[in-house]
Amino acid sequence: MNGNVVGIDIGHSAVKVSTEAGHFQFPAMVMPALTIQDANESMRSERETVTVNNRKFFYGETALAHSKGDTIFGLNDTWVQSDHHEALVAASIQELMAREIPLDPNTLIMAGLPIKSFTESKSLIADQFKKLTQAEIRVVPQPFGPYFYAMLDNTGKQHPGKEITQDSYAVCDIGWFTTDIIVMRKGRYNQSCSGSAEGAHIAAKFLKTDLYQEKGLNTTLQACEEALRTNHITYRGKIDVSDYVKKAKSHLAEHVSDRIKDYLGPVVDEVSSIYIAGGGANLVHPTLRQTWSHAELVAEPRMSIAEGMRRMGLGIKMNR
């Protein structure tokens, strides 16, 4: 097999990148670049600066450090058409180059999109990458990542005991903006049982509203997203909000469960496993498991999309 394979998952809360050398990620935060007066901070910020359409943008930790508060972008279907998204594409390429990952014409970059925006936006995403690299670009439905993560090993070969052409599987990928659900029937994508719904941001929004109504805390979505993982929020000091987080998780789990029923119908009981993946997987898996005993949390829920796409790409290259 000639060439390198890279999986890139540009999510609404983080950008995840998987290579043969390892994984890395950075916050999917973007803001217009500032002129930084402090010399040391200016040098540090320059490392996380990209230029898109003649405008400079901070990204990642630098965008977080210099923002005024809520820097979560992309809670709409046109986000992929924005300079913010293109800045994250440029940032992923810049980070790969900084790590000396080959991006020549023999390299295959696998990128994903939510189901509902795939057909409309796949060419646009490919073009954003092609502006920056000579690597081959392939854009696939995002939940293909967790499926191939489960089916293939890290060399792109089928896992022992997995029968891609004999068994059927479902994937529920709970991202920040969307929850994407697919069924793969004996290795074939079943589009009629697949689709997109609201993602984990509805839990953060629920928590934000609940904290304001019950405790008078005017927090940001970014702070609430973190609280879903840590059970506390910093608001004039650290506050335990675990009871409120529990309600927000339950709200999200009910939403995801309803969408699985809507999309899969009776097929939900015919698949061998329902793979639960994405950044919101840990928030809902325990509840989903109570309803479906074959709901299986993938080993690396957040990184499984990028790594699974990389494994898919390895399989593509081996079969050429």
What are the helix (H) ranges across the chain?
Answer: 39-46, 60-66, 83-98, 115-130, 144-151, 201-215, 221-230, 242-264, 281-291, 304-318
Q: Give the other-Cβ count within 10 Å of 55's Cβ.
A: 11
Q: Are 175 and 185 in contact, with CB atoms under 8 Å apart? A: no
What's the chain's length in residues? 320
Residue 244 three-state SS: helix
What is the token pair recorded at 4?
Answer: 């390198």
pLDDT at residue 71, rounded to an integer? 55
Contact 307, 7 (CB under 8 A): yes
Question: Residue 79's pLDDT is what?
Answer: 84
pTM over 0.85: yes
d(C-alpha 252, C-alpha 201), whole Å: 9
Q: What is the pLDDT of residue 70?
A: 55
**Residue 73: predicted pLDDT:** 54
The pLDDT assigned to 179 comes to: 96
* Domains delineated in the chain: 5-160 (3.30.420.40), 168-297 (3.30.420.40)
Q: What is the pLDDT of residue 69?
A: 64
Q: State how far the Cα of 34 lies from the Cα of 249, in Å rounded to an integer.
A: 37
The pLDDT, as a whole number, for residue 1 is: 63
Per-residue pLDDT of the chain (320 residues; tens, 9 = 90+): 677 999 999 998 899 999 999 999 999 999 999 999 999 999 999 999 999 999 999 999 999 899 876 555 556 678 888 999 999 999 999 999 999 999 999 999 999 999 988 999 999 999 999 999 999 999 999 999 999 999 999 999 999 988 899 999 999 999 999 999 999 999 999 999 999 999 999 999 999 999 999 999 999 888 898 999 999 999 889 999 999 999 999 999 999 999 999 999 999 999 999 999 999 999 999 999 999 999 999 999 999 999 999 999 999 999 88
